[in-house]
């Protein structure tokens, strides 16, 4: 058991340290390392690590896109928009039609002005 956990820790550590080093160099070195790492892990007898290696191979092109962009892109803006859309969807739970939900999303995400009401609700 101790040998298996040590090997798993070494594989994880190798992936973590090498990928942080490849940030300035480029996607070709990262692609080569990722392929070698996945091959080495898939030959091991550590089933959870094999699952991770298969997942990384499945998303290989998406992972390497980050290296092609040289780390300048961040997913923070997209995550912020997703969060706003999720909150708006929860807030619009009582709406009966999809059109009403769509209008609420346009107002929230597009920062459209609210309509003027004839009376105050407060």
pTM more than 0.85: no
Which two structure tokens, joined as six digits, stand for 38?
């996945």
What Cα–Cα distance (Å) separates residue 62 from each residue in 32, 58, 69, 100? Answer: 15, 9, 11, 35
Q: For residue 61, how far is the Cα from the chain centroid?
A: 14
Residue 102 shares a structural domain with residue 55:
no
The count of structural domains within the chain is 2
Going residue by residue through the chain, which has 122 residues, state the pLDDT in tens, using 9 for 90 and above.
Answer: 567 888 888 888 888 887 777 665 677 888 888 999 999 999 988 898 999 999 999 999 888 887 777 666 667 777 888 888 888 888 777 777 888 878 887 877 776 666 676 666 55
Residue 84 shares a structural domain with residue 118:
yes
Nearest to 37 by CA among 49, 25, 20: 49
Last residue of one domain, picked from the residues 39, 68, 97: 68
**Whole-angstrom distance, CA of residue 121 vs CA of residue 95:** 19
- Supply the pLDDT for residue 121: 59
- Supply the pLDDT for residue 35: 93
- Supply the pLDDT for residue 14: 86
Residue 18 shares a structural domain with residue 61:
yes
Domain that holds residue 112: 74-122
Residue 91 shares a structural domain with residue 53:
no
């Amino acid at each position: 058991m101790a040998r298996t956990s040590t090997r798993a820790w070494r594989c994880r550590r190798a992936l973590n340290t090498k990928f942080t080093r490849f940030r300035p160099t480029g996607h070709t070195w990262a692609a080569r390392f990722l392929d070698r790492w996945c091959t080495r892990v898939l030959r091991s007898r550590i089933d959870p690590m094999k699952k991770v290696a298969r997942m990384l191979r499945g998303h290989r092109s998406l992972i390497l896109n980050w290296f092609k962009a040289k780390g300048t892109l961040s997913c923070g803006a997209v995550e912020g928009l997703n969060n706003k859309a999720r909150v708006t969807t929860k807030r619009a739970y009582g709406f009966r039609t999809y059109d009403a939900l769509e209008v609420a999303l346009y107002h929230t995400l597009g920062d459209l002005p609210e309509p003027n009401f004839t009376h105050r609700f407060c």
